[in-house]
Structure 1
Amino acid sequence: MNQQPNNPLHGVTLADLLERLVERYGWDELGNRIQIRCFTHDPSLKSSLKFLRKTPWARAKVERLYLRSICYENRNVASRSASGEGDGEQEGEG
């Protein structure tokens, strides 16, 4: 059995991970946070995936940023839930 219930990267493809990071940060900020050429010079999903699949140290940096960003998102969701924000009651405001 290859189940990894405590691994937040389990089941997340590199393409999905990179797409989420680009959506969250954009290529410019991603290049600022992880200074690798495939993010800073004419970036594209295809070229970045090709590089990251061949370069373990770069992939590790991207995975760490992804893990930090999802931990940050989870903390924000938890704090909003605890404070009563984000529970769908905002639709009637205005």
Structure 2
Amino acid sequence: MENNTSKDPLHGITLKTILEQLEKFYGFDTLSELIKIKCFKDNPSVKSSLTFLRKTDWARKKVEDLYIKTLPKF
């Protein structure tokens, strides 16, 4: 019997979904405290944050790590 389920908690989840769930759970005010990036602090939106995170690997990694830590609370 084959098991095709991935052990990666981010498998099949888009960055947009991750960001939307984190924003809904924490809000941009708390996100900007947890992850010090300008797109969460100055005029934040999911769209502008996605643009930044798609270009900036270190910031995307921080968002993904926070999502994995937060996952049990969703």
Normalised by the length of structure 2, the TM-score is 0.90
Residue equivalent to 1:9: 10
Matched letter for residue 44 of structure 1: S
What value does the CA root-mean-square deviation take over the aligned residues? 1.4
Q: Which residues of structure 2 form unaligned runs of 5+?
A: none
Matched letter for residue 60 of structure 1: K
> Residues of 2 paired with 1:38 and 1:5: CA distance?
31
Q: Which has the higher contact order (CA 8 A, sep 6+)?
A: 2
The CA deviation at 1:73 is 2.1
Where do residues 44-59 of structure 1 align in structure 2 (5 Å cutoff)?
44-59=45-60
Residue equivalent to 1:79: none
The share of aligned pairs that are identical, in percent, is 51
Residue equivalent to 2:61: 60
Length, aligned pairs only: 71
Q: Which residues of structure 1 form unaligned runs of 5+?
A: 75-94
